[in-house]
A = this chain, B = another copy of it.
């Protein structure tokens, strides 16, 4: 092997650094106003090096949108849709989601850009849309279970869940770069309301 393990590690780190800075810049300034030169400078690498790791600017953007999705989607799907106490699980889930959305500020702004211009960023949009479907389906099961157990009102689950995910993304849009988790958590009750919890 011509490449030592040490070098591999360094390269991985370099790639990661570039991608991180790209996400930051893309999310703040958009696709066009984020030049490769700016990304290179922010990452502390040379201009040409960006092209060593990402063949085109399009590719860099694509990876900036796609790579974090895997990790974040795991976190967002980390709840038990068949929990014995659906209402309790739902509240835990909402709390978790709110926390996550309060944290991954920059990346979500990138997501909003992609969705907002889905014709321009078609490929990325498709993948995000696919996750959105998976996401909603899993929540729907939990909601149905809650309704079966009479913990939730008999609302249409499709519209309920779509409203919930819309609230999440809408908060991220409206709260701009509000970083205070405490503040975010105050939206948990409103979010819960959407699911129509039975008064007890």
Interface residues of A (CB under 8 A from B): 28-33, 109, 112-113, 115-120, 132, 155-156, 159-160, 162-163, 165-171, 173-177, 186-187, 189-191, 193-196, 199
A190 partner residues in chain B, CB cutoff 8 A: 155, 159-160, 162-163, 194
A109 partner residues in chain B, CB cutoff 8 A: 116-117
Q: Is the CB of A174 within 8 A of B29?
A: no
Complex CA distance for A85 and B84, rounded to whole angstroms: 40
Partner pick for A174 among B28, B155, B162, B186, CB 8 A cutoff: B162
Partner pick for A187 among B117, B162, B187, CB 8 A cutoff: B162
Nearest-neighbour CB distance to chain B for A114, whole angstroms, equals 10
Complex CA distance for A189 and B163, rounded to whole angstroms: 10
For residue A160, which residue of chain B has the nearest CB? Answer: B190
Q: Is the CB of B32 within 8 A of A32?
A: yes
Q: Is the CB of A118 within 8 A of B176?
A: yes
